[in-house]
């Protein structure tokens, strides 16, 4: 899409459910990279009436779920992914106001 966006995620690996993922020398699984536009995040935080911290947390959770294989192209996928986002943000102490 040729327009400014709020966040991009770039997967570094792909895996199937149940598959054991490769780990780096520190025992970590590197899923990929997340790039957040702070300019867009600020605009959206203002638009949605919440803090920049909450918007960045949301964008991070959203992108992490994409890197873990979740998507929201179909209604059932969207329902599952958005429920996970909500759960993550609530567990982090950053619920939607």
| Positive or negative: CA dihedral 82, 6, 56, 66 | positive
Q: How far apart are CA 97 and CA 85, in angstroms?
A: 14
The two tokens of residue 66 are 């994409």
Domains belonging to the chain, first-starting first, are 7-91 (3.40.390.30)
Tell me what the mean pLDDT of segment 60-79 comes to.
94
Residues 22-62: tens digit of each pLDDT: 888 898 888 899 999 999 999 999 999 999 999 999 999 99
pTM here? 0.84
Q: How far apart are CA 62 and CA 50, in angstroms?
A: 17
pLDDT at position 29 is 85
């Amino acid at each position: 899409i040729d327009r400014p966006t709020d966040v991009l995620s770039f997967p570094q690996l792909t895996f199937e459910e149940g598959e054991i993922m490769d780990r780096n020398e520190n025992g970590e699984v590197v899923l990929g990279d997340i790039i957040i536009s702070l300019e867009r995040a600020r605009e959206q935080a203002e638009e949605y009436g919440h803090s920049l911290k909450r918007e960045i947390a949301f964008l991070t959770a959203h992108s992490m779920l994409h890197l873990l294989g979740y998507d929201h192209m179909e209604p059932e996928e969207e329902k599952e992914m958005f429920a996970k986002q909500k759960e993550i943000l609530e567990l982090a102490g950053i619920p939607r106001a």
